[in-house]
Amino acid sequence: MPPTARRWTKEVRLLRARAAFADIAVAANGIWQPKRLEEVVLSKHPSRSFVEASNKFGKMARDGFVPDSATIQAVTAAFPNCNIRYWLDHPLFYLLDANQDRQAALNYALDSIPGALRTELWREPIDFEPWTGKTLRPLDGVPLFALLRGTLTQHLACLDERDHIQFVETGIERTPEAADKLDRKKQQLTRDMLRLEQPGQLDHLDALTLITALAKYAQDIQEARAFELASLMLRSLFPKAIAYHPQLLFSVKLISKLFYEQIWAPANHAFSVATRYGADPDRLAEDAIESAALLGQICPPDQYIR
């Protein structure tokens, strides 16, 4: 269950609404024009309550209008594979919203992580104190850095071998030749897909959510090494996670801006991370759009991306 939300910032409210809109557009096989999308939903599931407030989809995509229960019900009836609530409540948005309770957002994000990695993050209740429930393991200082450097990287199929942390200490910069840049990227994305099928691997979005949570926690406890490492890992993860999810690609410029302001700008100030690894919002957005095209994803037209 998501934590009780406080008043959302304007930017994150827009992110949530646009992710919900994009989820509907993807379910409709790539209909990105709000009016046309509304017509398709109504043709599949006539709903008086949905009709009464016209241009709801346009308001979602343009103004950050969060769909009401009538809209969600109509959309779900028209497209059963659409999961608007999942996107509205996604823990990544709680992490990026400055108005939300930081600890509650962190716990919610870490509790959303599936699989064996959960045992590295949570302690189950002990036999003689079952009322305590599961508790977050202490992650401050060296344990947090060790988790990022060692155990965690074993679960991240979406970090390729060259990204596996050695450059944190050596300062090696990765500059593939321009001539085969697209070919290398396509090969890497193909390897990602194959490795994601292996047991115990986190998908790109879970990985992005987890590392974002740990980066913000490292900021809070002023653990410099862990924050630098998480920042570099996010630089590798970000374009891929966005590329695989049109719900986020729809607002890639805005979400890039938020990541830059909250993660990479502070890291750049402290460690020159952005300067060395190209973590600026425009470049990250372009990288994600390029990756999505290589993957053959259902992508929003350029005029709708913001």
Task: For residue 136, give the DSSP letter.
Answer: E
Per the structure block, which two tokens stand in for 16?
């949530």
Q: What is the pTM of this model?
A: 0.82
Nearest to 24 by CA among 86, 65, 67, 84: 84
How far is residue 200's CA from residue 175's CA, in Å, rounded to a whole number?
Answer: 31
Backbone angles phi, psi at 237, to 5 degrees: -75, -35
**pLDDT at 172 (0 to 100):** 35
| CA–CA separation, 6 and 99 (whole Å) | 6
At 259 the pLDDT is 95
User: Which tokens belong to 159?
Assistant: 């970090």
Instruction: Assign 115 to helix, strand or coil.
Output: coil
Strand partners, 122: 136
pLDDT in tens, the chain (306 residues): 889 988 999 999 999 999 999 999 999 999 999 989 988 888 886 665 555 556 889 999 999 999 988 889 889 989 999 999 999 999 999 999 999 999 999 999 999 988 778 878 887 665 545 445 677 777 776 678 888 877 676 666 555 544 443 333 333 344 445 445 555 655 555 555 444 445 456 788 998 999 999 999 999 988 888 898 888 888 888 988 898 899 999 999 999 999 999 998 888 776 655 545 456 788 888 888 888 888 777 777 776 677
Specify the pLDDT at position 169. Answer: 37
Q: Name the 3-class secondary structure at 123.
A: strand
For the chain, the residue count is 306
What's the helix, strand, coil split of the chain in %, to 5? Answer: 65, 0, 30
Which residue's structure tokens are 């979005």?
Answer: 205
pLDDT at 251: 95
- 294 close to 186: Cβ distance less than 8 angstroms: yes
Would you state the structure tokens that stand for residue 189, as one six-digit string? 């994305």
Q: Which residues contact 271 (CB under 8 A, 6 or more apart)?
A: 224, 228, 231
